[in-house]
Amino acid sequence: MQLLERWLEEFRGLGYLTGSDMRVLEQQDDTEVTRGLIVVDLSEAATITYLQPIAGSDGRWKATMEARDTTIELTAVGIVNLGNELNVLGALVSFLETKSRELLAAG
């Protein structure tokens, strides 16, 4: 978990502007005692997205967006802001994949 917290702090230091709340949570897993995942609250979509490594991959990560029970209506500005949040989310996933591949290569 500390590693993910350091990576997330390093990503924040890159200066991406987003209204999303990003944090590391502990995750219970059958194959590991505990492992972390990153949670991103998309403020414009009022939904939560979980970021986690793809099991058995070469360092790839995936984003899982929770289902919504309600309709979302956005103004033009809201759509642009949501688009920005998704761009930052994509940059974060790419950042995490780079860090994971570096860690795997270091062995």
pTM for the complete prediction?
Answer: 0.88
Q: What is the pLDDT of residues 6-35, one digit of tens each?
A: 999 999 999 998 888 999 987 655 444 346
Q: CA 64, CA 67: separation in Å to the nearest integer? A: 9
Q: CA 59, CA 97: separation in Å to the nearest integer? A: 5
Q: CA 73, CA 99: separation in Å to the nearest integer? A: 36
Helix residue spans in the chain (DSSP H): 2-12, 76-106
Packing angle between helix 2-12 and helix 76-106, nearest 10 degrees?
130
CA 64 to chain centre: 9
Q: What is the pLDDT of residues 41-80, one digit of tens each?
A: 998 888 889 999 998 899 999 999 988 888 999 999 999 9
Domain boundary assignment for the chain: 2-106
